[in-house]
């Protein structure tokens, strides 16, 4: 019922953020930064994205940081993280970035949890303005085959989502209306996944190889992936480094380098790896739990 109620909100036209910030064209050397929040979160929560934005602004003088709001306000932004078709979200963000005068010289992007794979889609689909570095913080680049625990206070929503996924993650109805279904990756139903996953199978080149995706992704200077070693939200956690369960079973995992995606280099990741563009970082802690010290030492250098 809640799904129906909330999905009626999807009809409302999204409004782009009005941005204030540095004067375009000024001689500012800092590279702007885009943040995309995770599931159950919003652009501007003072305890999450808001705090991170502030922290980065304090560390890097003059930096332009834009924390993406998907929708007209914080409530819509949070709901859209569950119910708004991901391909639509990505194209909304692409046009927002294209219209932002502060970003025309290029920008770095930092995605948290599902926001990380969404930003990768932005890199693959929308090369202008150019994304320079992509930092994936607990992202799920090969999707998930489980949501053992939901972040924050969304546990009632999570129960509902799990039920919908179990009923048929690859049915058109669920795919269209549930964000998490669009990166649901069932290794026991690989054919269904490849055929019906509206978002993840597309950006991971499972149906065909789009040379544009491959070319655009390789424009990145760095693609940094952070894995949380005690992650209790993402299953399997290997997906945070672009690994996953081997197809046909649900126990044994493989790394990115062991995967066909890499061996056939359908996305250019092997080429990027050889060029030293892929960075794999691990940190102790549960999903998205890191200290300021860790952030400063490990991620900040990519933003300076
Ligand atoms: C760039 O840097 C300055 C100082 O670091 C900052 O105050 C300003 O808002 C930024 N943008 C400019 C000058 O356009
Ligand atoms: C490949 O991706 C580009 C960028 O999103 C898109 O415009 C194009 O239609 C895609 N090509 C195919 C064959 O799907």
DSSP states of 48-74 as a string? Answer: THHHHHHHHHHHSTT--EEE---SSSH
| 15 in a structural domain | no
Rounded distance from Cα 90 to ligand 2 centre (Å): 14
Number of domains in the chain: 1
| 159 in a structural domain | yes
pLDDT digits (tens, 9 = 90+) for 60-86: 999 999 999 999 999 999 999 999 999
Whether 231 sits among the annotated catalytic residues: the reply is yes
| Long-range contact pairs involving 157-165 (C-beta distance under 8 Å, separation at least 24) | 157/2, 157/40, 157/82, 160/2, 160/3, 161/82, 164/3
Rounded distance from Cα 24 to ligand 1 centre (Å): 10
What is residue 24's predicted lDDT score, i.e. its pLDDT? 55
Whether 28 has a pLDDT exceeding 70, the answer reads no
Residue whose CA is closest, atom 10 of ligand 1? Answer: 62
Cβ count within 10 A of residue 279: 15
Q: Which ligand does the CA of 203 lie closest to? A: 2
Mean pLDDT for all residues in the chain: 90
| 7 in a structural domain | no
Q: 184 lies in which domain range? A: 31-302
Tell whether ligand 2 has an atom less than 6 A from the beta carbon of residue 91: no
pLDDT level of residue 243 (50, 70, 90 thresholds): very high
What is residue 166's predicted lDDT score, i.e. its pLDDT? 82
What is residue 74's predicted lDDT score, i.e. its pLDDT? 95
pLDDT level of residue 12 (50, 70, 90 thresholds): very low
Pairwise pLDDT comparison (15 vs 197), residue with the higher score: 197
Return phi, psi of residue 131, to 5°: -85, 130
Q: How far apart are CA 170 and CA 32, in angstroms?
A: 37
Tell whether ligand 2 has an atom less than 6 A from the beta carbon of residue 212: yes
| 26 in a structural domain | no
Whether 107 has a pLDDT exceeding 70, the answer reads yes
Whether 1 has a pLDDT exceeding 50, the answer reads no
- Whether this prediction's pTM lies above 0.75 is answered by yes
- Domain CATH code at residue 270: 3.40.50.1820
Whether 26 has a pLDDT exceeding 80, the answer reads no
Selecting among 42, 67, 113, 259, the annotated active-site residue is: 113
Structure tokens at 171: 């049915």
Selecting among 185, 231, 238, 259, the annotated active-site residue is: 231
What is residue 216's predicted lDDT score, i.e. its pLDDT? 98
| 69 in a structural domain | yes
pLDDT digits (tens, 9 = 90+) for 155-206: 788 888 888 888 899 999 999 999 999 999 999 999 999 999 999 999 999 9
Pairwise pLDDT comparison (255 vs 160), residue with the higher score: 255
Residue whose CA is closest, atom 4 of ligand 2? Answer: 125
Q: How far apart are CA 94 and CA 127, in angstroms?
A: 9
pLDDT level of residue 21 (50, 70, 90 thresholds): low
Rounded distance from Cα 209 to ligand 2 centre (Å): 10
Cβ count within 10 A of residue 156: 10
| 179 in a structural domain | yes
By DSSP bridging, strand 253-254 and strand 244-245 are: antiparallel
Q: How far apart are CA 288 and CA 151, in angstroms?
A: 9
């Amino acid at each position: 019922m809640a799904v129906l109620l909330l999905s009626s909100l999807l009809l409302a036209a999204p409004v782009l953020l009005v941005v204030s910030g540095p004067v375009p064209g000024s001689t500012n050397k800092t590279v702007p930064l885009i943040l995309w929040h995770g599931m159950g979160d919003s652009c501007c929560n003072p305890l999450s994205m808001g705090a991170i934005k502030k922290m980065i602004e304090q560390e890097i003088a003059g930096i332009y940081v834009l924390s993406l709001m998907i929708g007209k306000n914080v409530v819509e932004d949070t709901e859209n993280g569950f119910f708004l078709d991901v391909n639509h979200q990505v194209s909304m963000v692409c046009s927002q970035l294209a219209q932002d005068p502060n970003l025309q010289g290029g920008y770095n992007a930092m995605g948290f949890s599902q926001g990380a794979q969404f930003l990768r889609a932005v890199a693959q689909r929308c090369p202008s303005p150019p994304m320079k570095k992509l930092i994936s913080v607990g992202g799920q680049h090969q999707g998930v085959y489980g949501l053992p625990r939901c972040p924050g206070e969304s546990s009632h929503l999570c129960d509902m989502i799990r039920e919908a996924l179990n009923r048929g993650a690859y049915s058109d109805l669920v795919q269209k209306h549930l964000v998490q279904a669009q990166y649901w990756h069932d290794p026991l139903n690989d054919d269904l996944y490849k055929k019906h996953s509206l978002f993840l199978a597309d950006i991971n080149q499972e149906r065909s190889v789009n040379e544009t995706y491959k070319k655009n992704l390789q424009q990145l200077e760095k693609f940094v992936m952070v894995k949380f070693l005690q992650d209790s939200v993402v299953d399997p956690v290997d997906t945070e480094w672009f690994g996953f369960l081997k197809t046909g079973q649900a126990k044994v995992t493989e790394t990115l380098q062991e995967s066909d995606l890499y061996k056939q280099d359908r996305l250019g990741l092997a080429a990027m790896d050889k060029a030293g563009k892929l960075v794999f970082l691990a940190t102790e802690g549960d999903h998205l739990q890191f200290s300021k010290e860790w952030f400063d030492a490990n991620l900040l250098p990519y933003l300076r």
